[in-house]
Amino acid sequence: MRKRLIVAASAVAMLSGLSASSALADEPERASDPFVCPVLTISEQAYESSGHFNDLGEGQYTFGPGAAGEKGTMGPVPNHATNEDGEGSPGGDHSAPGDTDYTAIWSGN
């Protein structure tokens, strides 16, 4: 009986320590003005005939940002969850679908 009590107390102490250490972790760096802007590969004909896409260069296009890209419509987004871990720029270096650090969310930093 005493052994069970010691094991139970140890388990409670360990779980308490895990939740306390998670709560004390540093908050991640946040994107200043996150917006949604997917990187798409479409034909030049689709680009020219639609009028809804913006040219990113190298055969890549995007549309938007729309309402999802307006300031205040997105919550706090960590930089590591944005295109190229916060370093991507729609008009410059950026990640595209298939890259490990691609996401359609941009930091705006």
3: left (phi over 0), alpha (psi -120 to 50) or beta: alpha
Nearest C-alpha neighbor of 109 from the set 8, 29, 25, 13 = 29
For 90-105, give one letter per residue: b (16+ CB within 10 A) or e. beeebbbeeeeeebbb
Higher pLDDT, 32 or 4: 32
Which domain, by its residues, includes 101?
Answer: 28-106
Residue 59 has pLDDT above 80, yes or no: yes
**Predicted pLDDT of residue 69:** 52
Lowest mean pLDDT segment, chosen from 6-20, 61-75, 79-93: 6-20
Q: Is residue 32 assigned to a domain?
A: yes
Q: Is residue 15 assigned to a domain?
A: no
**Predicted pLDDT of residue 85:** 86
Q: Is residue 10 assigned to a domain?
A: no
Q: Is residue 54 assigned to a domain?
A: yes
**pTM score of the predicted model:** 0.56
What confidence category does residue 29 fall into, taking pLDDT thresholds of 50, 70 and 90? confident
All residues at 6 or more sequence positions from 60 whose CB lies less than 8 Å from its CB, including other chains: 39, 40, 41, 96
Using DSSP, state whether 14 is helix, strand or coil: helix
Q: Is residue 16 assigned to a domain?
A: no
Q: Is residue 14 assigned to a domain?
A: no
